[in-house]
Structure 1
Amino acid sequence: MKAVVIIGAGMGGLASAARLSARGMAVTLVEAQAEVGGKAARVAVDGASIDAGPTVFTMRDVFDEIFEESGARLEDYVSVKKAEVLARHAWNDSETLDLYADPERSRDAIGNFAGAEAARGYARFQAETARMYNILNEPMMRGDNVSSPLPLLWRIGLTRFGDFAAMRPHKSMWKALRDFFPDPRLQQLFGRYSTYCGSSPFQAPATLMLIAHVEARGVWLIDGGINALAVALRRLAEGNGAQFRMGERVCQILMNGAGEACGVRLDSGEVIPADSVICNADPNAIATGHFGQDPSRAVKPLPPAKRSLSALVWYAHTKTSGFDLTHHNVFFSSDYKREFDEIASGRPPSDPTAYVCALDRSADLNAAAAPQGRERLQIIVNAPANGDRFSYDPKETQGCTRALKARLEKCGLMLEEDMPHELATPATWERLFPATGGALYGRASHGSAASFLRQGPRTRIRKLYCAGGATHPSAGVPMAALSGLLAAKKVEQDLASTRTFHQAATPGGISTRSATTEPTPSR
């Protein structure tokens, strides 16, 4: 039985563990935190449990496939339903627009909001983004990473150059949106999708417009949030024999005399040997020596200027009034360009766009009345990824909270003056995810070449692989899971190619005992 060690229980690591354990491999997953989920953790505020990470669940088919490979069904592990309202958008008081799971209803809503020309533009936008998605889904998002456009064009088909050009890789997303939407509010709405992978719509390629189609294909609600999905993946992997070592930190990726990864060392000094190692951490943590100097050559370091966005995230338990919240809500700033210019200069936005997830609200058309008393909110504002160079003092955090509340109030949403809350800053994310500066999405998708520069599953060191939202194909819950599946497939391929050879003693003096024989702490 081949032994695989996975570092990190984020979505990528969990997807790898589920697939490899289903294929009969001896999987040991080591996670420094007490619970699985990575960024999809939970925090306690005022006695309430609040989602700490991603809240939007799309591309359900990715997870259906993971569970089906283990002979299970996703709905046997979590309660999932399709949202009828994708999101509610607001600019100023009384300026609101809902997008729906029903595309015709979305077109009608846009027409009522911005006129018949905008509705026609949305119809063209729908067709164009669907085309982009269909072109890139298999060859890029679910396939191996490529280092330049030519291999991608080869996968798409050399005779389909028109399709390749239709992705508009050399045009900024913001400029491309003007071709569909003369109304600046709609440019702002659909430009925000670039932030799903931590990028500015003014610098990201127009190709990222396909994210709008991903969401239009369906947004799903999970009882218990994305963390419940992470727990379900753990249960699935454990059911196939995977071992989870929670609350233990890997301090070193070990290498043998042949220059191959051969296991990990924990902070306790314990060594877990393995035939392959998958690292579900930001690749820059490897490059900067967080797992030892020897493996640091496995990947290229990421310059701070290439980092994606970070975020200020409020976890609040508060009374609300004045705005009819649904589950997903966006409150737009008055000047989007200034907002991203301020972030690029290293400052939090003075008038921020805010995403509000109202965890206790339904996204159905027949939503129940507002919760009585306080409700749980997760509120996200984009911020610069400088958490390794700048720490927010109380004066700074109070100023950010005032700016947030001022924006919400302009759109009609009132929160308690002294609402119970916790605030996570870029410095918080740097502590949790070292070597990132707080960047939550890895490399920013700025410029036409950005998609080709993300770290792929294989590294420069044999038997060491990368997974997670900072690797290919991109950030986000389904993309991180796809990265884990890609890493697992590379492990399978590489191990299969060596099975006909005799096993040699592992240089370096460590035991070759199976990782499954290591003790597992009680939970």
Structure 2
Amino acid sequence: MSTKRIVVIGAGVGGLVTAIDLARQGLEVIVVEKARGPGGKMREIEVDGDAIDGGPTLFTMVPVFEQLFADAGATFTDYLGLKKAEVLARHAWGADEWLDLYADQERSADAIARLAGPEEGKRFREFCDHARRIYETLEKPYLHSSRPTPLSLVSRIGFTHLGALLEIKPYTTMWRLLGHYFRDPRLHQLFGRYTTYVGASPLLAPATLMLMGQVEQNGIWLVDGGMYQITAALARLAEERGVTLRYASEAQRIEIDGGRAKAVTLASGERLAADAVVFNGDVAALGAGLLGEDARRATAPTRPSERSHSLMAWTLTARTEGFPLVRHTYFYSDDYPAEFRDVFDRQRLPQGPTVYLCAQDRNDHDGIGPDGPERLQCLTYAPANGDTHTYDAAEIEQCEERTFSRLEHFGLRVHRQSEASVLTTPDQFHRIFPGSGGAIYGRAAHGWRSSFTRPASRSRIAGLYLAGGTTHPGPGVPMAAISGRLAAATLIQDLVSTSRSRATVTLGGMSTR
């Protein structure tokens, strides 16, 4: 008897989820990861002896993970602690000018009315209703389905629901639609940031992305110990289901024989034969030939102009004083359009950056921090030019000055120490995630076609499948998990289809004809 062997490249969220779903089907699954632990972009950085989240900071769409664990015979909350946030985020335009959005939509509407007037509160409710309708229209036929074409999406939604399809606004930019809903420019900025969840500019991204408002409204969750614990939980479940996790094992080449993926060669020279391979990395690495020339045709190459934004990311421990931080706080620039034109059109660091600060040791509402230094992640947008531009000391110093003096403008003083701060620049992101150019989210969601251009689970090479945030349905922790489930389902479907067409071995190791 024989069992099909699957090699998964990359122990990020998408790769681990794929491995879990495949292992519970009775397949032999080996995950190879070049880092010394799981996580991928959901990484943890040690700073002056403290472990700090150095990747995603928002956790949404918890039911995706609850279903994954339930299907594997486990309970998600047995593996980590969760608390639903009351305050989604704090948004600031000045030291005494800020707004909280709440899990309770009516509290948010009242807060907006106090900030910008009762008419804006009313328009916010209308905006939320529209976001909910878009989310409900696209959740199953798009987010949880193999990558659709425009025609197949219409077919899945149904011709009797064409009105709902028209409401998703693919031909209108987010920025233009926000002008329809809100008069206050501060609210343009606040809700325009939803496009940055997928690395896009609100000036270019389709208004469809307003569905992110409903994603937030469905719940933002705080994870005990930080976001990295999600990865730890996935890795633990994978091992419990029989997955072999091999860290410090870099995949160097995907071997293609007879037009089909047959093996993975590691940097050590070891060859792992496989009945199928799942690549959970930035798909741009495949198109660039970084996994071998034979694997280059697995997906279309990603042009630099198609990339999402990158980041200047400080991970640090520091004492803070002044502005009352909550877990998630946004400090907005004076000119949002100029900021994104700098990043995407001029390919330079913004002259006036918006700053996002995640205060990992704080709760979500009272602004009370620890007595001493606290764990922080501080982000500003940057162009994804890490493969062509090296950020030198002078450029970094200027960016730090702009960023932290901007925070001081809001009354927040961050007492930084060089030994307790780690900066990751676009060129460093490119080295960590080869082929990306430093882009955090793969291809930018610009224009109506962007929803249909991300690679699907099944690559152009037989036996080679794709998972992760640079594939359909897109970036973000839950989306990467969905991509992993889609990759596993597609792979299983192909194995079953093959078994029906010729004598072969079944999934659980039972030989049959």
Mapped pair 1:291 → 2:291: yes
Mapped partners of 1:447, 1:27: distance in 2: 38
The match for 2:414 is 415
The alpha-carbon deviation at position 413 of structure 1 amounts to 1.0
The match for 1:471 is 471
Partner of 2:73, secondary structure, is: coil
The match for 2:388 is 389
Mapped pair 1:430 → 2:430: yes
Q: Which runs of 4+ in 1 moved over 4 A?
A: none
* 1:4–1:27 CA contact under 8 A, matched in 2: yes
Q: 1:94 aligns with which of 92, 96, 101?
A: 96
Map Cα deviations across residues 163-188 of structure 1 (whole Å, 9 max, x no partner): 11111111110010111111000010
Mapped partners of 1:239, 1:499: distance in 2: 28
Partner of 1:13, secondary structure, is: helix
Mapped partners of 1:173, 1:256: distance in 2: 45
The match for 1:372 is 371
* 2:199–2:445 CA contact under 8 A, matched in 1: yes
Mapped pair 1:301 → 2:327: no
The alpha-carbon deviation at position 256 of structure 1 amounts to 2.2
Mapped pair 1:270 → 2:270: yes
The match for 1:124 is 126
The letter for the 1-side match of 2:190 is L
The alpha-carbon deviation at position 369 of structure 1 amounts to 3.0
Partner of 1:225, secondary structure, is: coil
The alpha-carbon deviation at position 44 of structure 1 amounts to 1.3
The alpha-carbon deviation at position 20 of structure 1 amounts to 1.0
The alpha-carbon deviation at position 226 of structure 1 amounts to 1.9
Mapped partners of 2:416, 2:295: distance in 1: 50
Map Cα deviations across residues 78-108 of structure 1 (whole Å, 9 max, x no partner): 0111111100110111111001111111111
Partner of 2:99, secondary structure, is: strand
Mapped partners of 1:433, 1:20: distance in 2: 25
* 1:22–1:237 CA contact under 8 A, matched in 2: no
* 2:8–2:31 CA contact under 8 A, matched in 1: yes
Mapped partners of 2:225, 2:369: distance in 1: 19
Map Cα deviations across residues 403-429 of structure 1 (whole Å, 9 max, x no partner): 001211122211115453111000011
* 1:16–1:484 CA contact under 8 A, matched in 2: yes
The match for 1:63 is 65
Mapped partners of 1:79, 1:171: distance in 2: 40
**Number of matched pairs:** 501
The 5 Å alignment of 1:11-160 reads 11-147=13-149, 149-160=150-161
Mapped partners of 1:95, 1:191: distance in 2: 18
Partner of 1:431, secondary structure, is: helix
Mapped partners of 1:72, 1:342: distance in 2: 47
* 1:254–1:263 CA contact under 8 A, matched in 2: yes
Map Cα deviations across residues 60-82 of structure 1 (whole Å, 9 max, x no partner): 00000110011111110001111
The alpha-carbon deviation at position 368 of structure 1 amounts to 7.3
* 2:6–2:275 CA contact under 8 A, matched in 1: yes
The letter for the 2-side match of 1:403 is R
Identity rate of aligned residues, in percent?
46
The match for 1:174 is 175
Partner of 1:43, secondary structure, is: strand
Mapped partners of 1:329, 1:378: distance in 2: 11
The match for 2:243 is 242
The match for 1:495 is 495
Map Cα deviations across residues 199-246 of structure 1 (whole Å, 9 max, x no partner): 000000000011111011100011122211101101101111000010
The match for 1:518 is none
The match for 1:521 is none
Give 5+ residue unaligned stretches, structure 1.
505-513, 515-523
Higher mean C-alpha displacement, 494-503 vs 20-29: 494-503
Mapped partners of 1:10, 1:418: distance in 2: 31
The letter for the 1-side match of 2:492 is E
The match for 2:451 is 451
Structure 2 length as normaliser, TM-score? 0.96
Mapped partners of 1:350, 1:22: distance in 2: 51
Partner of 1:231, secondary structure, is: helix
The match for 2:351 is 350
Partner of 1:499, secondary structure, is: helix
The letter for the 2-side match of 1:478 is P
The letter for the 1-side match of 2:177 is A
* 2:325–2:368 CA contact under 8 A, matched in 1: no
Mapped partners of 1:12, 1:353: distance in 2: 29
Mapped partners of 2:280, 2:251: distance in 1: 12
The alpha-carbon deviation at position 503 of structure 1 amounts to 4.4
Mapped partners of 2:398, 2:422: distance in 1: 14
The alpha-carbon deviation at position 151 of structure 1 amounts to 1.5
Mapped partners of 1:158, 1:4: distance in 2: 39
Mapped partners of 1:341, 1:287: distance in 2: 27
Mapped partners of 1:245, 1:144: distance in 2: 29
Mapped partners of 2:368, 2:329: distance in 1: 16
Partner of 1:389, secondary structure, is: coil
* 1:314–1:422 CA contact under 8 A, matched in 2: yes
RMSD of aligned C-alpha atoms?
1.2
Structure 1 length as normaliser, TM-score? 0.94
Map Cα deviations across residues 93-131 of structure 1 (whole Å, 9 max, x no partner): 111100111111111111111110110001001100000
Give 5+ residue unaligned stretches, structure 2.
none
